[in-house]
Amino acid sequence: MSIAIATETLKADRDAARALLTLGALAFAGTAIAYLVTISWVAPIPRDSTGLVVGRDFLNFWMYGRATALPDPQRFYDPLVYTRELVTLLWPDYPEQAFSYPPSIMLLAAPFGRLPYLAALLIWTALGLAVFIGFARSHFADRRVLLALVLSPATLFCLMSGQSALLTAAMLVAIFALIDRRPIAAGVLIRLLTMKPQLGLLFPVMLIAAGRWRVFATAAITALALVALTAALFGPQVWIGFVKIGMPNQNFVLVDPKLALEPFCPTIYMNLRGIGASFAQAMTLQLGVAALAAAAIVWAFRFRRDADPMLLMALFLACSVSVAPYLLAYDTLGLCFAALMLLDQAKLDAPGRRFAQLVYWLPVIQLGLGAAHIPGPALIAPAFAAYLVMRIRSAAAAH
């Protein structure tokens, strides 16, 4: 690369980083202020404008922690029982929510469930931010790109909902940082992602394609250990309740005639359902995209395993977002992390910088178009994956 081209690329990267930081900061501040001023500070827990408690999704996590100290925790997998518990704890008109996580989440949630809700939410949020920022700092040379990531829409939506995406995004990047140097640690982290199983659907495909059997075995052993430990502490019935009641209820999200979560899900399935496609039509196309994503992972990690590790990681995360029929906007934070890392290290050309910007704004694009039932945001991750495949191919051809 000539000095002139390198200088031009560096300037373009800095301009892109500056734009993301400026607009991201404005969007973060504006949305955060609008959210805070609409909160109703009522007992026992403040509510936001939708009628949900602040840190809305954290409520389920906190309830898992409370369940560990109650008899028969598996009963909460019954939607009617869980709704009655929430109504008793909060207020009569509280919207229905699902007790949908695997029982292994109880191991992490138990300490939080023993605290008052707001104290637990504050500690959870501070912990997530500390891990996320602390881990990200070592991966970015340009502090403007790091700050843009911290102020990204995916981060903001995660904070507003009390979600685990801050931790899972750091875990996803850490897995690829550790997979060669510390395969056992990488395998443990892969299995801990069961708190967000939709993010790890392609890990078995990748590990088998790459022949990383030590990581695969560690993940499998960790999975069995978590099942055994959870059953020993809380009774085997928690797993029976999850399989018999919890898992079938999870599927209702996909067949829900109201499509309540459609505006928040940047997936092929949800985008198509939003414009009236039937379950069969939407799922068929989703499975088709998933098959292409899995094929791309097999090709990259089997036949291009010597490619740039950052390109391989970004491809994996783009394909992971593409493959899931159910995935919320804040769950794209890991992909945003990877895209901005590529931008920070000048590994993107002009089209790549545009894709990084689209990935960065994907939660906003999905929310805006999804509310109007306009499809399209779900194509951003697959298109970025296709771009990365071409980058990997061209790099191999150059050598």
pLDDT the model gives residue 42 = 83
Mean pLDDT of all residues in 250-273: 81
Contacts for 95 with CB less than 8 Å, ≥ 6 apart: 50, 51, 52
Output 256 or 334, whichever has higher pLDDT: 334
CA angle 75, 76, 82 (to 5 degrees): 130
pLDDT the model gives residue 32 = 92
Q: Is the pLDDT of residue 18 over 80?
A: yes
Q: Is the pLDDT of residue 147 over 70?
A: yes
pLDDT band of residue 196 (cuts 50, 70, 90) is confident
**Is 22 in a helix, a strand, or coil?**
helix
Give CA 302 to chain center in angstroms.
25
pLDDT in tens, 37-73: 999 888 788 998 888 899 989 999 999 999 998 888 8
- Judge contact between 259 and 326, C-beta under 8 A: no
pLDDT band of residue 10 (cuts 50, 70, 90) is low
Q: What is the mean pLDDT of the chain?
A: 90
Poorest-pLDDT segment among 2-11, 14-23, 121-130, 169-178: 2-11
- Judge contact between 169 and 337, C-beta under 8 A: yes
Domain ranges of the chain: 3-398
pLDDT in tens, 87-122: 888 888 888 777 778 888 899 999 999 999 999 999
**Is 40 in a helix, a strand, or coil?**
strand
CA atoms in the 13 A half-sphere facing the CB of 101: 25
Poorest-pLDDT segment among 113-117, 141-145, 192-196, 242-246: 192-196
Q: For the packed helices 117-137 and 105-113, what is the interaxial angle rounded to 10 degrees?
A: 120
d(CA 249, CA 254): 10
pLDDT in tens, 303-356: 999 999 999 999 999 999 999 999 999 999 999 999 999 999 999 999 999 999
Q: Is the pLDDT of residue 9 over 70?
A: no
